[in-house]
Amino acid sequence: MTLDLVVGKTEEIAPGIRELTLVRPDGRLPPYPAGAHVVVECGHGRRNAYSLTGCGVEPDAYRIAVLHIPDGDGGSAYVHGLRVGDRVRVSRPRSAFPPVATARRHLLVAGGIGITPMLAHVRAALRWDRPVELLYVHRPGVAPYAEELAGLLGDRLVESTDPDEFGRLLQAALREQPIGTHLYVCGPGPLMDRVLTDAAAAGWPPERLHLERFVPAALDPGREFVARLARSDRDVHVPSGTSLLDALHAAGVAVPSMCRQGVCGECRVPVLAGRPLHRDEFLAADERSDAVMCCVSRSETDALEIDL
Ligand code: FES
């Protein structure tokens, strides 16, 4: 279900980064957990997922911050071109990166525009008095929300503009946490990979690591496989380079979709047999044996039986 919203305010909060405040003149906005995102319809069939920066309780507006990507698919340029009063269609908020309520402590690591879901996490942690600290690496002079975060967190915010220094700060932060701390990371792929590698080396168990990719990971075309549609007793061939979602659509099988980036959860399909090759950011570890996000994920086995 989508929401028809109106741009209430638009502001450049850092070079190349524009914050949009979206309001709903005719009704209340659904609440959401910190770390949630909305999928914005960006014209010409493009849909991009953007994190909401509020804590999500009784929101009077949805706020997103969008980095202009000159060589992107045009979605960010579309958002940057929006003006006050323009209408925008967005999905209801979807949660794929929420704080863990039972965590003893929340260690947040953000790189660049990856700060957006972390701002929501910080606001939620402070609202419910949960221990939190933030390690924020950014380019000099391009630090969205840094001032606001400094006011919210004081010395619990550590900033760095130097990759080597960031590495040392990260190592120290990973070592110093009490057992029961959960780690959340969002930023460019190489930064996230580094944080996850260092955390694993420092002995952090995977169930205490949470990540949010704001740019979809580059996906290889994958090998071909067959999707067995159990209910309709049909086989659909999925060639290399074609997504399972597109192959199903080409075969006339209706499957809903929104983001096509593996983050919104819309295209989830139950798996009955075979082994999915998961490439999404949506499914939790305990959901991965019997479901697949067919916009990005594929099959490890020659055939994947799905409940369609
Ligand atoms: S369409 Fe959003 S996860 Fe597949």
pLDDT, tens digit only, all 308 positions of the chain: 789 999 999 999 999 999 999 999 888 899 999 999 998 998 887 888 899 999 999 999 999 999 998 877 788 999 999 999 999 999 889 887 899 999 999 999 999 999 999 999 999 999 999 999 999 999 999 999 999 999 999 999 999 999 999 999 999 999 999 999 999 999 988 898 899 999 999 999 999 999 887 655 567 889 999 999 999 999 999 999 999 999 999 999 999 887 777 877 889 999 999 999 998 877 877 888 899 999 999 999 999 999 99
Atom of ligand 1 lying closest to residue 293 CA: 4
Q: Does any ligand 1 atom lie closer than 6 A to the CB of residue 53?
A: no
CATH 3.40.50.80 range(s) for the chain read 105-212
Q: Does any ligand 1 atom lie closer than 6 A to the CB of residue 216?
A: no
Q: Which CATH architecture has domain 2-91?
A: Beta Barrel (2.40)
Q: Does any ligand 1 atom lie closer than 6 A to the CB of residue 38?
A: no
Q: Which residues contact 204 (CB under 8 A, 6 or more apart)?
A: 174, 183
Amino acid identity of residue 231, one-letter, is R
Choose one of 38, 48, 259, 283 to mutate for the ligand 1 pocket test, by most ligand atoms within 8 angstroms of C-beta: 259
**In CATH, which superfamily holds the domain spanning 225-306?**
Beta-grasp domain (3.10.20.30)
Instruction: Look at the chain and count its residues.
Output: 308
Distance (Å, whole) CA 173 – CA 135 = 8
Q: Does any ligand 1 atom lie closer than 6 A to the CB of residue 93?
A: no
Q: Does any ligand 1 atom lie closer than 6 A to the CB of residue 291?
A: no
| DSSP structural state of residue 43 | S
Helices (H), the chain: 75-80, 115-127, 146-153, 163-176, 189-201, 244-250
CATH 2.40.30.10 range(s) for the chain read 2-91
The token pair at 78 is: 């579309």
Where do the DSSP E strands lie in the chain? 2-14, 17-23, 37-41, 47-51, 62-67, 87-91, 105-111, 132-137, 157-160, 181-186, 209-212, 225-229, 234-238, 268-273, 276-277, 291-293, 298-299, 303-306
Q: Which residues pair with 109 in a beta bridge?
A: 135, 185
Q: What is the CATH number of domain 105-212?
A: 3.40.50.80
